[in-house]
Amino acid sequence: MIEFLKILFLSEFVLLTPEPITIDGQHEFRLTESVEALNYNARINIDVTSMVDEFLGTGVVEELDILSEKFPKGSVEVHLIESSAGDKITLKNLGYSTSKNSMDLSLKYPKNAELGRSYDTIIIQSNVLLKEVVIGWANSK
């Protein structure tokens, strides 16, 4: 019940990139306000629609196949850092989603990591060029 109330009142989506950016290798975000993992649905979302928009509307199965082909498992990693304690959590499990208007990558908070931690630095590493992407931190579905 407490987790439900936290999600209801504290869930958030923090847009890390007000404008689309390109990441060639690595990009570091030093946050003015830290983000927190309230539950194990917390995740980084990377909207890659601009890179694959010609495939929108081809059907969910084909869109997911395109995402997994262009962004294979292991090609993107996210590090969440709590600077004051020096703690770092790595998000490696790359997932894919699609909707009528977007195609996204997501990296979920690991189930073996402690909830309720705050992070003030996010580092995204990619061995695939991420061109004109929009990135956000989400805390619930």
For the stretch 5-19, pLDDT in tens is: 344 445 677 899 989
Query: Residue 4 above 60 pLDDT?
Result: no
pLDDT tens per residue across span 51-110: 999 998 899 999 999 999 999 999 999 999 998 888 899 999 999 999 999 999 999 999
Q: Is the pTM of this model over 0.85?
A: yes
Rg (CA), the chain: 15
CATH pick for 1-139 out of 1.10.10, 2.60.120, 1.10.8, 2.30.30: 2.60.120
DSSP symbol at 60:
H
Q: What is d(CA 9, CA 24) in angstroms, rounded to the nearest whole number?
A: 36
- By the 8 A CB rule, do 62 and 77 touch? no
Kindly list the domain boundaries of the chain, sorted by start residue: 1-139
Name, in order, each residue with C-beta under 8 angstroms of 7's C-beta and a sequence gap of 6 or more. 38, 39, 139, 140
